[in-house]
Amino acid sequence: MYRKIRKHHIHFVGIGGIGMSAIASVLLELGYKVSGSDIRHSSTIQRLVKLGAHISIGHKPENVHGADVVVTSSAVSKQNPEVLEAMRVQIPIIPRAQMLAELMRLKRFGVAVSGTHGKTSTTSMIGAVLEAANIDPTLIIGGQVKSLGTNARWGRGEFLVAEADESDGSFLYLTPSIAVVTNIEEEHLDYYKDLEHIKQTFTNFLKKVPFYGAAIICGDDPNLLECAKFIKKRTITYGVSEGNYIQAKNIQYKGYGSSFEVWKDNEFLGDITLKVPGLHNVRNSLAAIGVGLELELPFEVIRSGLERYRGVGRRFEILLDTEELTLVDDYAHHPTEIQATLKAARACFPGRRLVVLFEPHRYSRTLALMDAFQTCFDEADRLYLTEIYPASEKPIVGITGRRLASTIQQKWGGEVQFVQDPFLLPEKVMEDIKPGDVILTLGAGNMGKIGKTIAELVNEQKAIKATI
Write out the binding residues: 115-121
Binding-site residues for ATP sit at 115-121
Give me the catalytic one of 102, 107, 119, 337.
119
Whether 196 sits among the annotated catalytic residues: the reply is: no
Catalytic residue status for 120: yes
What are the beta bridge partners of residue 267?
Answer: 264
Whether 201 is catalytic: no
Catalytic one among 44, 120, 336, 453? 120
Catalytic residue positions? 119-120, 163
